[in-house]
Chains A and B, each alone.
Chain A
Amino acid sequence: MAIDVRIFGPLRLDSGLKAISIDALEGQRRLRDILLELGSLKGLETLRAVATEGREEGAPFIILVDGKNCMLLQGLDTLVKDGQRISVFPPSGGG
């Protein structure tokens, strides 16, 4: 199995990527490391900044792990397990 990452909003349009499968390595990985890895892909460079610029939960990006905002877990230090799903949204609003 692996970790399933879904990319949304302008990030999806810029990168042309919808879903990316990330190797779960030893069975679980830190969310921050996953974002760093994703940030090396074309169109997803901003995710590097999200991972490194120190804002706890990646805000104003919205990052969910299995539908739960990572902020309500351990922020970017959340351990994401094999088979879980990450959803990444750039800052968004609407109504």
Chain B
Amino acid sequence: MGFSEKIRVLHVDLSSGQIKRQELDDEVARKFIGGRGAGTYLLGTLLKGQEDAFSPENPLIFATGPLTGTAAPTGGRYMAICKSPLTNLVACSNSGGQFGAELKRTGTDLLLITGKASEPVYLLLEDEKTEIRPASHLWGRDTHFTTAAIKKELEMEGAKIACIGPAGENLVRFACIINDLHRAAGRSGVGAVMGSKNLKAVVVKGSSRPEAKDNELFMDVVKDRVKTLQENPVTGQGLPSLGTKVLDNIINEHGAYPTRNFQTGVFESTDEVCGEALVEKGYLKKNRGCYACPIKCARVTELPTGAKGEGPEYESGWALGAAVGVKDLIAITEANYLCNLLGLDTISCGLTLACAMELFEKGIIKREELQGGPALEFGSSEALVFYTQKMAYRDGFGKNLAEGSLRLAKSYNAPELAMAVKGQELPAYDPRGVQGQGLSYATSNRGGCHVRGYLIAPEVLGIPEKLDPQATEGKAHWVKVFQDLTAVIDSMGMCLFTSFALGAEDYLALLNAFTGRGYTLEEMMECGERIWNLERALNIRFGMSPESDTLPERLLKEPMPEGPQKGNTVRLSEMLPEYYKLRGWDENGIPSGETLKRLGLDQV
């Protein structure tokens, strides 16, 4: 494959069976980079706004960036983009592994799937050949069975597979897409949208490696940045040795480790479940990396019970651990494996259970409602594993859980007990201990999320410099810059974890060397800003009210009860107006006409 400046779209309509190829204008590539940016742009051209997330009109887009499938360090990422059934806003979930790179090798940048198949099917992309194949025999099966069965059926060496489990089929609102067995496009229910299309899997097998505009230059830049990543203490040592789970103790010692549905920020049993314990107990077997990744943060684990898999990573281990008060590392790891098999997002799964446990603790959910299931008590490993299974099948009380924490809590007239923003469950940092992260949560375009602006890096980890986590001054600026740069990294097709070692100039060098687009630093950052505003504008078109730029009441009003952050709440009102101003949005959070015009988004 030669160098391609155009963004190549393969459009498969599952209702009609039609398969078409199209290209997006050069202008789109330049303005939106690719991946997250270009995929979201495409989404915006297809949805009017009021469509139901489960309707055939809602497209599902697998988007690779210009650097996906190249030698760029961590250049194997893709995004699954659609309207979310959890938030009713833009869903845009990133995943690594090998799938994205292989999709690119088939000669497709964006795979656009519309419509709904009348029977379960899977999609096979083999270079230029595209085939819709029957999948009724796989319906109801877990992700590992499905992956193995397709491999056997096709006998295709090197094929990579992304699929859904029972959770996606049963339209659990936070079902994920699992690729390469262990990697997840996790959040916002992209797997449920795939299920609503009767699409069980996408299989890719390609043979053409993407080429840079200037290969020699690109390889020089790559070599240099790989070295930076290897020499950096975080990406060269910290992440490879303990993975993301090195954070359990850091965040807990900091007093911001959300425990029992964010009732406190200190988990008394962290020593039992932390990354260090995973090694000391001998469950960690080795680390593994995604495509072209020198960091290799993934954990390959095996339990004394004989069960094997990957994970838990920090977020998953927390959601299925401290968030539900469970201190049994075996149960946590098993629940994590189960989520991967059933195709459930671990964060939303854990936090929906946590919400149910608090409702139970307060006597709002009654024992009789559990239809014979175990008591929903904080700390119960039995409840954790039992209800994880039940929610994937919408069985018994699992039916209520499958709707996510906000819908669950609302059904009991207690929405304040859902630790969610815009309907999506929050991740593993209590923002009462990290003010900027609080602003980042409140303004994230996909609701509760840590990978849209990871303020933990400067506020807790001191990267690239240390900020006072309790200060609010200046945080709006940091949040904006992080959000914009993250949009760039995601759109390029690289992993966010590289940003512990690389800065904006490094991404610019990689992007320019590959595409030859000759962006200036300002232009590249403006692309990030444009993508952010595009998502915002689409969210407003989808019906988002800017009043939802807030946090659960608990985090704004209930002072942290103990630990280093005792007495703190999130002082959102000290940061939000400044943030709107910096963004060029009016005081109600609506992008002004002028801002949209400056970014070339006035048509949106």
B135 at the A/B interface (Cβ < 8 Å)?
A: no
Chain B 261-305 against A: per-residue CB contact (8 Å), 1 yes, 0 no? 000000000010001100110000000000000000100000000
Do A94 and B245 contact each other (CB < 8 Å), given the known contacts A12-B276, A89-B250? Answer: yes
Most A C-beta atoms less than 10 A away, residue of B254, B280, B313, B462 = B462
Q: Which of A6, A57, A93 contacts B466 (CB 8 A)?
A: A57
Q: Is the CB of B279 within 8 A of A13?
A: yes
CB pair B461 A9 closer than 8 Å = no
If A9-B276, A13-B276, A13-B279 touch, whether A94 touches B314 (CB-CB below 8 Å) is yes
Contact residue among A6, A12, A62, A95 (Cβ-Cβ distance under 8 Å from B314): A95
**Which residue of chain B has the shortest Cβ distance to A89 in the bound complex?**
B250
Contact A92 B461 (CB under 8 A): yes
Binds B, one of A26-34, A36-44, A63-71: A63-71
Q: Mark A67-92, 1 if CB is under 8 A from B, else 0.
A: 11101100000000000000101111
Contact with A along B456-477 (1 / 0, CB 8 A): 1100111100101100000000
B246 A92 Cβ-Cβ under 8 A: yes
> For residue B244, which residues in chain A have a CB less than 8 angstroms away from its CB?
93-95
Name which residue of chain B comes closest to A71, CB basis. B466
Counting chain B residues whose Cβ lies within 8 A of the other chain, the interface size class is: 35 or more
Q: Which of B106-114, B232-240, B527-535 contacts A (4 or more CB under 8 A)?
A: B232-240
User: Is there an interface contact between B254 and A93, defined as CB atoms closer than 8 Å?
Assistant: no
Near B by CB (< 8 A), chain A positions 1-52 give 6, 8-10, 12-13, 18
Q: Which residues of A contact B496 (CB under 8 A)?
A: 95
Task: Flag whether B241 is at the interface (Cβ < 8 A).
Answer: yes
Q: Is the CB–CB distance between B242 and A9 below 8 Å?
A: yes
Q: Identify which of residues 553-598 in chain B touch chain A, using a CB-to-CB cut-off of 8 Å.
A: 563-565
**Residue contact B243 to A93, C-beta cutoff 8 Å:** no
Distance between A31 CB and nearest chain B CB, rounded to angstroms? 15
Assess whether B462 is in contact with A94, with CB atoms less than 8 Å apart. no
| Complex-state Cα separation, A69 to B255, whole angstroms | 12
The reply to whether the CB of B450 lies closer than 8 angstroms to some CB of chain A is: yes
A10 to B249, CA, bound (A): 12
Judging by beta carbons under 8 Å apart, are B254 and A64 in contact? yes
Closest CB in chain A relative to B74 CB, distance in Å: 13
CB <8 Å contact, A10 and B461: no
Partner of A13, one of B241, B243, B297, B466: B241
Residue from A8, A59, A60 within 8 A of B249 (CB atoms): A8
Instruction: Assess whether A95 is in contact with B456, with CB atoms less than 8 Å apart.
Output: yes
On chain A, the residues within 8 Å of B393 by CB distance are none
Q: Is B519 an interface residue (CB 8 A)?
A: no
Shortest distance from the beta carbon of B464 to any chain A beta carbon, whole Å: 10
Residue pair B242, A93 in contact (C-beta under 8 Å): no
Judged by a CB distance under 8 angstroms, whether B253 is at the interface is yes
Cα of A39 to Cα of B277 in the assembled complex, Å = 23
Residues B246 and A60 in contact, CB atoms below 8 Å apart: no
If A9-B276, A93-B461, A95-B454 touch, whether A60 touches B234 (CB-CB below 8 Å) is: yes
Q: Which of B234, B275, B468, B469 contacts A91 (CB 8 A)?
A: B234
Smallest Cβ distance from B400 to chain A, in angstroms?
A: 30
A72 touches B468 (CB 8 A): yes
Q: How far is the CA of A8 from the CA of B456 in the complex (A)?
A: 18
Q: Report which of A10, A67, A72 forms a contact with B253, defined as CB distance below 8 A.
A: A67
Q: What residues on B are CB-neighbors of A94 within 8 Å? A: 238-239, 243-247, 297, 313-314, 497
CB distance B249 to A89 under 8 Å? yes
Q: What is the interface of chain B mostly: helix, strand, loop, or mixed?
A: helix
In chain B, positions 203-255 with a C-beta closer than 8 Å to chain A are 233-235, 237-239, 241-247, 249-250, 253-255
Contact partner of A67 (CB less than 8 A), chosen from B280, B297, B461, B565, is B565
Cα distance A69–B254 in the bound complex, in angstroms? 8
Q: What are the residues of chain B within 8 A of A91 when measuring CB–CB? A: 233-234, 237-238
Closest A residue, CB atoms, query B501: A93
Q: Which residues of B contact A67 (CB under 8 A)?
A: 253-255, 563-565
> In B427-474, which residues have CB < 8 Å from any A CB?
450-451, 454, 456-457, 460-463, 466, 468-469
Closest to A94 in B: B244
Residues of B within 8 A of A13 (CB): 241-242, 276, 279-280
Report if B139 contacts A (CB, 8 A).
no
Taking a contact as CB atoms under 8 Å apart, the answer to whether A69 and B462 are in contact is yes
In the complex, what residues of A have CB within 8 A of residue B238's CB? 9-10, 90-94
Which A-chain residue is minimally distant from B427 (CB atoms)?
Answer: A95
Residue B386 at the A interface, CB < 8 A?
no
**B500 at interface (Cβ–Cβ under 8 A)?**
yes
Docked-complex contact A93 and B564, CB < 8 angstroms? no
Q: A13-B241, A92-B234 are in contact. Are A59 and B466 (CB under 8 A)?
A: yes
User: How far, in whole Å, are A72 and B434 apart by their CA atoms in the complex?
Assistant: 14
When distances are taken between beta carbons in the complex, the residues of chain B under 8 Å from A12 are: 276
Chain A nearest CB: distance from B282 CB in Å?
Answer: 12
A62-B564 in contact (CB<8A): no
Closest Cβ neighbor of B565 among chain A residues: A67
Chain A contacts of B249 at CB under 8 A? Answer: 6, 8-9, 87, 89
* Residue among A87, A90, A95 having the largest count of chain B Cβ atoms under 10 Å: A95
Q: Is the CB of B241 within 8 A of A62?
A: no
Given A60-B462, A67-B565, A93–B276 Cβ distance below 8 Å?
no
Contact of A62 among B255, B315, B462, B563 (CB under 8 A): B462
Cα distance A72–B461 in the bound complex, in angstroms: 13
* Residues on the B chain within 8 Å of A68, using CB: 564
Min Cβ gap B432→A in Å is 13
- Expressed in whole angstroms, the minimum distance between the Cβ of B346 and any Cβ of chain A is 14
Q: How far is the CA of A59 from the CA of B233 in the complex (A)?
A: 11
Residues of chain B with a CB closer than 8 A to A87's CB: 249, 253
Q: Which residue of A lies closest to B454 (CB)?
A: A95
For residue A60, give the distance in angstroms from its CB to the closest CB of chain B.
6
What is A's interface to B at a CB cutoff of 8 Å? 6, 8-10, 12-13, 18, 57, 59-60, 62, 64, 66-69, 71-72, 87, 89-95
Interface positions of B (Cβ within 8 A of A): 233-235, 237-239, 241-247, 249-250, 253-255, 271, 275-276, 279-280, 297, 313-315, 450-451, 454, 456-457, 460-463, 466, 468-469, 496-497, 500, 563-565
Would you mind naming 13 contact pairs between A and B with Cβ atoms under 8 Å apart?
A9-B238, A59-B462, A62-B460, A66-B564, A67-B564, A72-B468, A90-B233, A93-B497, A94-B244, A94-B247, A94-B314, A95-B247, A95-B497
Among all A-B residue pairs, the 8 with the closest Cβ atoms: A67-B564, A94-B244, A91-B233, A93-B500, A93-B234, A87-B253, A94-B247, A92-B238
